[in-house]
């Protein structure tokens, strides 16, 4: 009896040790975010190389073909076809390209505007800080999706419109966080020493403040990639974003909802693509935050 209990204890300890090693490995390396985002990045960069079919080619005779794992599915249309006979796998790949382009440019421009205004508000203070932060407060009182719909409706549908909408909606988040970080950095000894030595404000910001904000900016940008993709998909789904014959995940969901009862695969795969991409971006942002913050770093 004693030997049996001893063996069970040893096995349980071994299992706990393996689980702890796995958790340590997952904390040390962004395995899950990489698995989620790598297909999107590869498809976004090299999408046309992987098209099984032309994503815009219509074939009404082959409409609503099921995926390969269903009884009448075929390998030539691995994920099936939509109501117009277009290959869903090809459209998912093309949708990844569109989503990646919009998200990257939208986050870049919103980050540039928000970081610039946040640094100016935090470092200059006084009237500059009051004006910028009151604008931030006023805009943050408006729900992001409503402001995006308003801008898209006024400017008209299109890729440029969505990028502008994302930039206008998200810059306030950067400005608020970066202002707080800048206020903290402004009190540090190295900034005070730079002032004593006669450095100009522009030089202090570029050489001493901005380099210390890179980690924060990187985390914010990564976390907002997922939100940008959601905004793009939402605008397109509501009909104020990308328009046919363009290919986008939100458009696939919008067109496929009519056939949900008979051809569930049309909106489902696009929805899963959005889910996995947003999840991967959020997990990567959390991992970067833990990696850059000494208080949260665990190694």
Burial class (CB in 10 A: 0-12, 13-18, 19+), 124: middle
213-236 pLDDT, tens per residue? Answer: 999 999 999 989 999 999 999 999
- Per-residue pLDDT tens digits for 5-21: 445 454 555 545 555 66
pTM of the model: 0.86
Short-list 77, 92, 143, CA closest to 251: 92
**Can you identify the CATH homologous superfamily of domain 96-292?**
MetI-like (1.10.3720.10)
User: What's the pLDDT score for residue 197?
Assistant: 86
* Residue indicated by tokens 């269903």: 70
pLDDT at position 2 over 60: no
Relative orientation angle of helices 31-46 and 88-124, to the nearest 10 degrees: 110
Quick one: which of 287, 284, 275 has its CA closest to 34? 284
The pair of structure tokens assigned to 164 is 């502008």
DSSP for 59-124 reads -GGGTTPPPTTSTT--GGGTT-B-TT--BHHHHHHHHHHHHHHHHHHHHHHHHHHHHHHHHHHHHH
> Residue 222 has what pLDDT?
92
Beta bridge partners of 277: none
Q: Where are the alpha helices (DSSP H) in 125-243?
A: 126-140, 144-155, 159-186, 189-196, 201-204, 214-237
pLDDT over 90 percentage in the chain: 50
- Tokens 């009182």 correspond to 141
Cβ neighbours of residue 15 under 8 Å, at least 6 residues apart? Answer: none
Cα–Cα distance measured from residue 228 to residue 28, given in angstroms and rounded to the nearest whole number: 27
Confidence of residue 157 (pLDDT cuts 50, 70, 90): confident
Q: How many CB atoms lie within 10 A of CB 278?
A: 19
What pLDDT sits at residue 87?
A: 93
Judge whether residue 189 has pLDDT over 90: no
- What is the C-alpha to C-alpha distance for residues 51 and 261, in angstroms, rounded to an integer? 27
- From the list 142, 57, 42, 80, the residue with the least C-alpha distance to 270 is 80
Give the rounded percent of residues in the chain with a pLDDT score beyond 70: 89
**In contact, 149 and 155? CB cutoff 8 Å:** no
- Phi, psi for residue 81 in degrees, rounded to 5: -130, 165
pLDDT in tens, 81-91: 998 999 999 99
Contact 85, 59 (CB under 8 A): yes
> CB count, 10 Å around CB of 158?
14
Looking at the DSSP bridge assignments, the partners of residue 248 are none
């Amino acid at each position: 009896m004693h030997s049996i209990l001893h063996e069970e204890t040893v096995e349980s300890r071994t299992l706990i040790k393996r689980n702890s090693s796995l958790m340590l490995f997952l904390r040390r390396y962004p395995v899950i975010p990489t698995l989620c985002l790598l297909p999107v990045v590869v498809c976004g960069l090299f999408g046309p190389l992987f098209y099984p079919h032309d994503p815009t080619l219509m074939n009404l005779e082959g409409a609503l073909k099921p995926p390969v794992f269903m009884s009448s599915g075929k390998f030539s249309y691995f994920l099936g076809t939509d109501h117009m006979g277009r290959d869903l796998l090809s459209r998912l790949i093309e949708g990844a390209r569109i989503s990646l382009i919009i998200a990257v440019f939208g986050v870049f421009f919103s980050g540039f505007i928000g970081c610039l205004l946040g640094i100016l508000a935090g470092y200059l203070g006084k009237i500059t800080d009051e004006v910028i932060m009151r604008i931030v407060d006023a805009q943050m009182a408006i729900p992001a999706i409503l402001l995006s719909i308003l801008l898209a409706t006024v400017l008209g549908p299109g890729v440029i419109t969505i990028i502008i909408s994302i930039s206008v909606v998200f810059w306030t988040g950067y400005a608020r966080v970066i202002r707080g970080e800048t206020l903290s950095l402004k009190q540090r000894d190295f900034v005070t020493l730079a002032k004593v030595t006669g450095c100009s404000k522009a030089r202090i910001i570029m050489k001493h403040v901005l380099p210390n904000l890179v980690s924060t900016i990187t985390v914010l940008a990564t976390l907002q990639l997922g939100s940008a993709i959601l905004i793009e998909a939402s605008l397109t789904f509501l009909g104020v974003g990308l328009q046919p014959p363009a290919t986008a995940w939100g458009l696939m969901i919008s067109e496929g909802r009519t056939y949900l009862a008979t051809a569930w695969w049309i909106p489902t795969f696009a929805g899963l693509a959005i889910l996995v991409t947003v999840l991967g971006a959020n997990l990567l942002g959390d991992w970067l935050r833990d990696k850059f913050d000494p208080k949260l770093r665990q190694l």
